[in-house]
Amino acid sequence: MNPNEIHTPVMLERCVELLQPAISRPGAVFVDATLGMGGHSEAILDRFDGLTLIGLDRDTDALRIAGERLARFGDRFRPVHTVYDGIADAVDGEGFSQIDGVLFDLGVSSLQLDMAERGFAYAKDAPLDMRMDQTQGVRAADILATYSEGQLRRIFEVYGEEKLAGRYARAILSAREVAPIETSSQLVSILTDATPGALLSAGHPAKRVFQALRIEVNAELAAVEAAIPAAMSLLNVGGRIVVMSYQSLEDRFVKRAFAAASSSTGPKGLPVELEEFAPRFRLVTKGAELADEAERQRNPRSIPVRTRAAERVREAR
């Protein structure tokens, strides 16, 4: 498997540009919190000679592939098997107390989408697994077999923003009374049959349900909500965080976290901003940046991306 042939890093040049002022310092420490197949990490290690890179991933297949790809960088590359909310322990375990840059490329990776047997893609028939870390946790099939109608409806509504959540939950409960739902094709068929004909042309009926199941299986939102503040607290003054989100739930959380960190915490009406109330971060991007049209045409997986960046401007008090 050649990762260069199956993986095109999203917004690579823009990410490097956003991170460059922070990680071009001698002795800089950078964390790729979502290592994947190492595309972003390879470019960063190539361009910044004095940098040490800690790469995190829960997916053992990704760690293996990235490890082979980045072996030429020796001990400048430090792979760690962990979910990104374990960033503080990972950094400490590699002997550092603070970092100069961190990148999050959230969501499902190209590797996971393209390996049909992982069960992430509704367009490919495979066992309904969806675990990013296949060494532990419950599968999507386990959730479909054990969750109540209310639980299924909740995750479809909250994590998939699916308007037909209740209808789909009821259809799944009816179907599993006949036979276990073990494959993506079974689930797609159930969802398609449960979708009103007038809505079948409005997008694939399985898209949001598969997203919701993936988020539930991997506890993705909980991990993001813990990881982003933890990463920001590790940054040196002048350090930068870049986050790429592919769905609105993640992006809304990142937007709120960045807004809070870049706002004064002082009482309103003070004639002078006191230092202890001054913002800890400044926003580097104006809102969320999108991939340009050329990249969207070249790499369709870049179409939903929303990229935000912030820089630490003072120590916490």
CA distance 184 to 81: 28
- Does 84 show up as a binding residue in the annotation? yes
- Does 101 show up as a binding residue in the annotation? no
Q: Report the half-sphere exposure of 301 (CA within 13 A, side-chain side).
A: 17
Please indicate, yes or no, whether residues 128 and 174 belong to a single structural domain of this protein: yes
Please indicate, yes or no, whether residues 133 and 266 belong to a single structural domain of this protein: no
- Does 137 show up as a binding residue in the annotation? no
- Does 112 show up as a binding residue in the annotation? yes
Which value, to the nearest 10 degrees, does the dihedral of the CA atoms of residues 137, 140, 145, 147 take? 80
Within 8 A by CB and 6+ apart from 110, the residues are: 6, 7, 8, 36, 37, 301
CATH number of the domain enclosing 39: 3.40.50.150
The secondary structure of 65-95 as a DSSP string is HHHHHTGGGGGGEEEEES-GGGHHHHHHHTT
- Of 191, 218, 245, the residue at which a domain comes to its end is 218
Please indicate, yes or no, whether residues 224 and 214 belong to a single structural domain of this protein: no
What is the domain extent for residue 264? 3-111+220-312
pLDDT at 317 over 80: no
Please indicate, yes or no, whether residues 78 and 199 belong to a single structural domain of this protein: no
Residue 135 tokens, joined: 């060494």
Q: What is the DSSP letter of 36?
A: T
Specify the 3-state DSSP secondary structure of 32.
Answer: strand
Residue of 82, 69, 73 lying closest to 53 (CA atoms): 73
Per-residue pLDDT tens over the stretch 63-87: 999 999 999 999 999 999 999 999 9
| Residue at 281 is within a domain | yes
- Does 105 show up as a binding residue in the annotation? yes
pTM for the whole thing? 0.89
Please indicate, yes or no, whether residues 136 and 196 belong to a single structural domain of this protein: yes
- Of 172, 187, 218, the residue at which a domain comes to its end is 218
Please indicate, yes or no, whether residues 201 and 242 belong to a single structural domain of this protein: no
The pLDDT value recorded for residue 157 is 96
Within 8 A by CB and 6+ apart from 204, the residues are: 122
Are 53 and 41 in contact, with CB atoms under 8 Å apart? yes
Per-residue pLDDT tens over the stretch 211-260: 999 999 999 999 999 999 999 999 999 999 999 999 999 999 999 999 99
The amino acid at 146: T
Per-residue pLDDT tens over the stretch 103-149: 999 987 665 666 666 667 777 889 999 898 888 889 999 999 999 99
Residue % of the chain over a pLDDT of 90: 76
Rg of the Cα atoms in the chain: 21
Q: What is the DSSP letter of 267?
A: P
Please indicate, yes or no, whether residues 96 and 125 belong to a single structural domain of this protein: no
Please indicate, yes or no, whether residues 7 and 104 belong to a single structural domain of this protein: yes
pLDDT at 4 over 60: no
CATH number of the domain enclosing 186: 1.10.150.170
- Does 38 show up as a binding residue in the annotation? yes
Domains contained in the chain, number: 2
Of 174-183, 239-248, 262-271, least confident by mean pLDDT is 262-271
- Does 40 show up as a binding residue in the annotation? yes
The pLDDT value recorded for residue 69 is 95
| Residue at 157 is within a domain | yes
